Structure 1
Amino acid sequence: MGARLTYPEITLAEDRTYIVTGGNGGIGYETAKYIAAHGGRVIIACRSEERADGPDTLNVEFMKLDLESLTSTMEFINAYKAKGYPLHVLICNAGIAFISYTETADGFEKTFQVNYLSHLLLILHLIPLLRTSGPNSRIVMVSSLAHVFGSFNLDNIQGEQSYDRFTFYGHSKLYQIMSMYALDRRLKNTGIGIFAVHPGTVETGLATNNWTESKILVPITHNFLKLFLYVFQSPAIWETLL
């Protein structure tokens, strides 16, 4: 009784190449592991090579990427192009949440740059490679339902007037969705699909590494949603309630 996860059993071509930002942990790790286990080539783009280590039997490669730095982002882009690999799917997964106000060395509010700006830079520079790598190329942004708490205000986009760590996380996820729509209009008939996904409430290090209180709140929210799904899918309980 209740929800059960299922996964399609497929075989991916060995040369079908995926970049997963933040593929060394959480949702990114599970995504990279699944793709590699089914035959695809995975580039894990993250800061720590040690945390990106995987079994030698899988077609997985680490490339350094620090989204807090536009210089590092451009170095990754140039290094990837120099390898001569195709690129079929770009998964923009890495992110941070609920941090105190911090500026990057580039002068941007940190959540804005890591979650949105550096990923947009990646996308724009890698679109030509996605176009030449064949049909059915894709860009996937891991966004969040938290975008409903965000808004677009150019006067405060960098926290010039006020800053709230929850709201600015929502802003960054809203910007991802806005850029998805903008790019979708411009990528019509190019063979590139672009998507933004809400992964649900997942207990990863995204919040717990940055916000002490979330160690309590995230499990509570996760369990509440599981209970909601159980009630929603149980006819007997619905009959009792109604």
Structure 2
Amino acid sequence: MTSSNSGSAHQQAKDWVESISKNEWTKPAAAVAGTLASLGLIRMYSNGPVYKNSVNLKGKVVVVTGANTGIGKETCIQLAKMGATIVMACRDPSRAHRAKEEIVKLSKNEDVDFIRLDLSDLSSVRQFVSDFRKKYSRLDILFCNAGVMALPRRETTKDGFEMQFGVNHLGHFLLTNLLLDLLIASAPSRVIVVSSYAHTFGKIDFDNLQWERNYSGFAAYGASKLANILFVKELDKRLKQSAANVSVYAVHPGAVRTELPRYILSSWWKKLLVTPILPLTYLLLKDPYHGAQTQIRCAIDPTLQQSSGKYFADCKEKMPSAAARDDQVAEKLWQVSEELVGWKNK
């Protein structure tokens, strides 16, 4: 793994600015150059590291939820370039087909498929699995990437779950378990669950899982992201108990410029507050390419097999919150999730 934050580039920019600043006539230009150089360094730092290694994924089948935009689409592009067969699991067919054309064009890989999946509808999750099994007999990598964030008002899924808990956790919980036999049969295989640093302000309240009381969009989002890590923890434990050669990882992609925070601008006063600082997001937020690096590493790096069950950010293993390391809560959440989605491992 190498980083795009280059010390030599930093020194070259510094030397150049110092050389032109010695000339009185060029001091204004030096000030501008210094500012631009500083902004460039901020940009490089904000983007974070790049995982440069590549593997041959020819013959491997990869499912990516939320594949039509953001880091999901970027993940498809990068793994398609490595030869993988990509299955885009998305809700909107028209947007998915447009993204598919772009993925094929950029990767020069025609093995890109689309199967409709709406994670807010458990019947759609089951239908996706049925459709997938009709076309594919293996599954090597599953990216639980799709998500919703900070809905300003409490909404529910078709099955009556709070939207963020239902989509971000329960939908992926059912999807993964319904595909688990294929992952085990295709081993060594991997599951990557996209969580967030927001898990650190999340709390699992079993008496108010659906946020019927005291709803807060950000608090509910944090709880769903905490559930993602606890799911990974418990899934890893169960896979190891059964000696299955399936590795599973929770990932924080970083603050990325995607459609995920679209609900933050859902009202006129929020737009009024946020719009003036939108240009700063170019400097301070990762682009989707850099945002996808951590989950790409977790998907293909052979050295990470012993790190199954762990939490990663900026292409490195990190320590999640104390709440995310609670074995008892992880086990109880699994049991409750089984009941909620109507699935039980036989």
TM over 0.5: yes
Confirm or deny: 8 A CA contact 1:203 1:218 kept in the other structure. Answer: no
Q: Tell me how far apart the structure 2 counterparts of residues 150 and 222 of structure 1 sit (CA, whole Å).
A: 27
| Cα deviation 1:169-227 (Å, max 9, x = unaligned) | 0000000101111111111131100100000010100112x22038547765674578x
Structure 2: state its 5+ residue gaps.
1-9, 11-40, 287-346
Residue 203, structure 1, aligned to residue 249, structure 2: no
Please state whether the residue corresponding to 1:140 is helix, strand or coil: strand
2:74 aligned partner: 30
Map 1:15-94 onto structure 2 (within 5 A). 15-52=59-96, 53-54=100-101, 55=104, 57-58=108-109, 59-94=111-146
Q: Tell me by how many angstroms 1:13 deviates.
A: 3.0
Confirm or deny: 8 A CA contact 2:58 2:82 kept in the other structure. Answer: no
Q: Tell me how far apart the structure 2 counterparts of residues 181 and 171 of structure 1 sit (CA, whole Å).
A: 15
Confirm or deny: 8 A CA contact 1:19 1:43 kept in the other structure. Answer: yes
Following TM superposition, where does structure 1 have runs of at least 4 consecutive aligned residues deviating by more than 3 angstroms?
Answer: 2-7, 213-226
Q: Tell me how far apart the structure 1 counterparts of residues 184 and 278 of structure 2 sit (CA, whole Å).
A: 39
Q: Tell me by how many angstroms 1:79 deviates.
A: 1.0
Confirm or deny: 8 A CA contact 1:152 1:171 kept in the other structure. Answer: yes
| Cα deviation 1:78-117 (Å, max 9, x = unaligned) | 1111213310000000000011211122111111111000
| Cα deviation 1:15-52 (Å, max 9, x = unaligned) | 11110000100010000110011211110000122222
Q: Tell me how far apart the structure 2 counterparts of residues 25 and 32 of structure 1 sit (CA, whole Å).
A: 10
Q: Tell me how far apart the structure 1 counterparts of residues 226 and 57 of structure 2 sit (CA, whole Å).
A: 34
Q: How does the TM-score come out when normalised to structure 2?
A: 0.61
Confirm or deny: 8 A CA contact 2:90 2:114 kept in the other structure. Answer: yes
Map 1:135-154 onto structure 2 (within 5 A). 135=188, 137-154=189-206
Of structures 1 and 2, the larger Rg is shown by 2
Q: How does the TM-score come out when normalised to structure 1?
A: 0.86
The partner residue of 1:192 within 242, 246, 249 is: 246
Distance 1:7 1:177, change over 3 A: closer
Confirm or deny: 8 A CA contact 1:202 1:222 kept in the other structure. Answer: no
Q: Which amino acid aligns with 2:128?
A: F
1:120 aligned partner: 173
| Cα deviation 1:129-154 (Å, max 9, x = unaligned) | 0010132x000001000000100111
Residue 13, structure 1, aligned to residue 66, structure 2: no
Q: Which amino acid aligns with 1:181?
A: K
1:133 aligned partner: 186
Higher helix share: 2
Q: Tell me how far apart the structure 2 counterparts of residues 219 and 67 of structure 1 sit (CA, whole Å).
A: 32
- Residue correspondences, number: 224
